[in-house]
Amino acid sequence: MGRWNAVLDVSVVTIDVLLAYAGGVAIWIIAVTAWEFHYLGRTGELQIRPFHPDKCAGLAPIGQLFFSFSLILVVIALFSAGWLV
């Protein structure tokens, strides 16, 4: 029984480390993307078109991008909550 507990412990730690790494990379990508959009907005390179056909002033792709990022963060949060329990 002791050997299987060691194998289980190693596999759980490996999964935890890989998911933590993936979560860190995802958060880093989100932060860099948000910072770049902030920079583009401050320099005036991000153009807002009030009557754009997407009804979001031409910013619908940015909204979809950040929505997909939020889904990644939900998965990370659920993993973290399950790990803490």
Residues 10-41: tens digit of each pLDDT: 888 898 888 888 888 888 988 998 899 899 88
- Residue 1 confidence (pLDDT): 62
Percentage of the chain lying above the pLDDT 70 cut: 98
Sign (positive/negative) of CA torsion 44, 48, 50, 52? positive
What is the reported pLDDT for 82? 83
| Tokens describing residue 2 | 């002791």
